[in-house]
Amino acid sequence: MAFNPVIFDLQPSDKNEKEGLYQYIATFSDQSKCRLFLTKNPNWKLAHVNRLLNIPCPMCRKDYYCNCMEKHLPAIEAEFLQKIEE
């Protein structure tokens, strides 16, 4: 089963405007949640993604921390950029 990241909701979590660092909580269409770590100098760049443990991982179905979301950074970044422009 392929993972298709579609951001349903995006909430700002933390920011450090001096350093250009931002955190957002993204809720995907399958109700999984991730914390997105981004930089903005001057364009947005997704640096890291951390899955929150509200449901098992949509890819490996493990109920603990895994690195599956790291494999999909470009797709998640593209979805974030599309969502932030709205």
pLDDT in tens, 5-39: 899 999 999 999 999 999 999 999 889 999 999 99
Alpha helix locations (H) across 22-86? 73-85
Model confidence, pTM: 0.88
Q: Is the pLDDT of residue 1 over 80?
A: no
pLDDT in tens, 41-61: 889 999 999 999 889 988 888
Spatial contact of 22 and 14, defined as CB atoms under 8 Å apart:
yes
pLDDT at 5: 83
Spatial contact of 34 and 28, defined as CB atoms under 8 Å apart:
yes
